[in-house]
A and B are shown apart, each in its own frame.
Chain A
Amino acid sequence: MRKLSRRRVIGDSLGLAAAGIVARPFLAKAAAKTASVWWTQGFVPEEDAAFRAMVADYEKQSGNTIDYSLIPFAPLMQKVISSLTSGDVPDVISHDIQDQQVVPQNAWNDRLLDLSDIVEPLKSQLHSTAYLGSRFYNNVTKQRAAYQAPYKTQVLPFHVWGSLVEKAGLKLADAPKTWDAFWDYFKPAQEKLRGQGMRGVYSLGLQPTTNGPADGNQMFTYFLAAHHGMGIVTPDGRPHLDEPAVKAAVIKAITYITTAYKQGYVPPGALDWSDADDNNAFHAKQIVMDLDGTISTELAMIHDPEKYNDAVTLGLPNDNSGKPIPSPLGVSGAFIPKGAKSVEVAKEFITYVVQPQVAGAYLKAGLGRWLPAIPDIVKNDPWWTDPKDPHRLSYVTQGVLGDTVPYHYAFNPGWAEANAAQIWGSAHANVIRENMTPQAAAEAALKRISDILAKYPIAQT
Chain B
Amino acid sequence: MSSTTFFTAARRTFPGSSLGELRRRVWQRGPSSEFTWAVAFVVPYIAVFAAFVAYPVVYGLWMGHKPSLYTELFSDPIYVNTVVNTVIYLGIGVNLKMFGALLLSGFFMRRSWWTKGLLLIYVLPWAVPALPTFLSIHWMLNGQWGLINNTLWDLFHIDGPGWLETSRWLALGSVIASHIWKWMPFWTVILLAGRMAIPQEVYDAAAIDGATGFQRFFYVTLPLLGSLYLICTLLSTVFTLGDFNSVYFVSGGGPALSTHVLATLGIRDAFQIARPDLGVATVMSALPLMIPLIILLMRKLRTTDIQL
Could you list which residues of chain A lie within 8 angstroms of chain B, going by C-beta atoms?
1-6, 9-10, 12-14, 16-17, 20-21, 77-78, 81-82, 85, 101-102, 105, 199-200, 210-213, 267-269, 271-272, 274, 284, 286, 416-417, 420-422, 425-426, 428-429, 432-433
Contact = CB atoms under 8 A, between A and B. Distances in A.
Contacts of A4: 27-28, 30, 34-35, 38
B261 interface: no
A363 B123 CA distance: 51
B273 interface: yes
B8 to A, nearest CB: 19
A21 B275 CA distance: 26
B152 interface: no
Contacts of B38: 4, 9
Contacts of A9: 27, 35, 38-39, 42
B50 to A, nearest CB: 6
Which of B30, B32, B39 counts the most A-chain CB atoms under 10 A from its CB?
Answer: B39
A317 B88 CA distance: 48
Interface residues of B, number: 42
Nearest to B31: A1
A78 B266 CA distance: 13
B64 interface: no
B255 A417 contact: no
Which of B142, B144, B252 counts the most A-chain CB atoms under 10 A from its CB?
Answer: B144
B142 A269 contact: yes
Contacts of B198: none
Contacts of B165: 268-269, 271-272
A12 B39 contact: yes
Nearest to B30: A4
B185 interface: no
B46 interface: yes
B50 A14 contact: yes
Given A1-B31, A10-B42, A426-B257, 11 more contacts: A6-B23, A6-B27, A9-B39, A77-B271, A101-B274, A272-B164, A272-B254, A417-B274, A420-B272, A422-B257, A432-B256
A213 B272 contact: yes
B144 A433 contact: no
Nearest to A284: B145
A211 B252 contact: yes
A200 B47 CA distance: 56
B28 A426 contact: no
A339 to B, nearest CB: 16
B276 interface: yes
22 contacts: A2-B35, A9-B38, A13-B43, A13-B47, A14-B46, A17-B43, A21-B51, A102-B274, A210-B254, A210-B256, A212-B272, A213-B272, A268-B144, A268-B165, A269-B142, A269-B165, A271-B255, A271-B256, A272-B256, A422-B257, A433-B166, A433-B258
